[in-house]
Amino acid sequence: NAKLSPEKLLCQLRDRVNVTMIQRSDGPFGTSEWQQYLPGKSLSETVGHLGRCAVVSSAGSLKSSHLGQEIDSHDAVLRFNGAPVRGFQDDVGQKTTIRLMNSQLVTVEEQQFLREPLYNTGILIVWDPAPYHAEIHEWYRKPDYNFFESYKAYRRTYPEQPFYILNPKMQWQLWDILQENSLEHIQPNPPSSGMLGIVLMMTLCDQVDVYEFLPSKRQTDICHYYQKFHDHACTMGAYHPLLFEKNLVKHMNQGTDEDIYTHGKVTLPGFRKVHC
């Protein structure tokens, strides 16, 4: 269904999706107030050179997977939103190097976000849905969720923990590639945290193993491995173009179909290893 070869697709992602964190030089963030809040070090300086990385989706199919040890064997592990590790180590591991969160969580669930120890581990990154190819200024005036105050409150409480804001430009650069490689029209909503996280890790790591983004034989309507809630849309997508994301990731998989079936595991090369 994708139009480009896997090799060309990887090159497009590498060359057209500019994964950066908001910096002091980004327009409205240049004020003296923001200087105190944005981390001084860049993300790549903070994480260093990463070899093998794991991206752990929050899917219900992780339940009873016993993938914990395998996930923890990676140099770095990315998790999403409020996905817990305590009580679920056997299935999802215990290492958290980066946690990517949407702005809704940080804003609507601010009290839990500021209180729960879950968030105190690893590097935090928050992203917010921006208007299609909007300039930073336009987005800053009218974010989807106004998470800026909550971000500042967290930074005041935990000034030592690295906490970045994802530059919103990347979501539409990635969406364009999703659309170009799909035969159907895709809803104009940004990619899921899962897809953003996969591309983020491809910029930081030599190799990225993604778990239960493409569902294994354990596929289920249970939304998350940590909740009892059932909803088919969690796996197939509603707001996010999740199905198109999954097709694209399947197309680029360098692992085996057997690994998808048994481990829900896809292996992607880091952009450093991609030669165009």
Nearer to ligand NCC, 237 or 270 (CB): 237
- What track of x and - describes contact with ligand NCC for positions 212 through 231 (by CB under 6 A)? -x---------xx-------
- 165 SS3 class: strand
Burial class, 145, CB count within 10 angstroms (exposed 0-12 / middle 13-18 / buried 19+): middle
Q: Is 192 in the site for ligand NCC (CB under 6 A)?
A: yes
Q: Is 96 in the site for ligand NCC (CB under 6 A)?
A: no
Task: Work out which of 103, 193, 207, 216 binds ligand NCC, going by CB under 6 A.
Answer: 193
- What track of x and - describes contact with ligand NCC for positions 99 through 138 (by CB under 6 A)? ---x-xx---------------------------------
Distance (Å) of CA 165 to CA 28, 102, 178: 13, 10, 23
Structure tokens that stand for 7 in this block: 């090799």
Task: Work out which of 37, 80, 163, 271 binds ligand NCC, going by CB under 6 A.
Answer: 80
Least Å distance between CB 56 and ligand NCC? 8
The phi, psi pair for 95, rounded to 5°, reads -80, 135
Torsion-angle region of 64 (φ positive above 0: left; ψ -120 to 50: alpha; else: beta): left
- Lay out the sheet containing 163-165: strands in order across: 163-165, 123-127, 98-102, 76-80, 50-56, 205-211, 265-269
Least Å distance between CB 27 and ligand NCC? 25
Nearer to ligand NCC, 162 or 194 (CB): 194
Mode of pairing for the β-strands spanning 265-269 and 205-211:
antiparallel
Which residues lie near ligand NCC (CB under 6 A)?
57-60, 80-82, 102, 104-105, 192-194, 213, 223-224, 234-235, 239-240
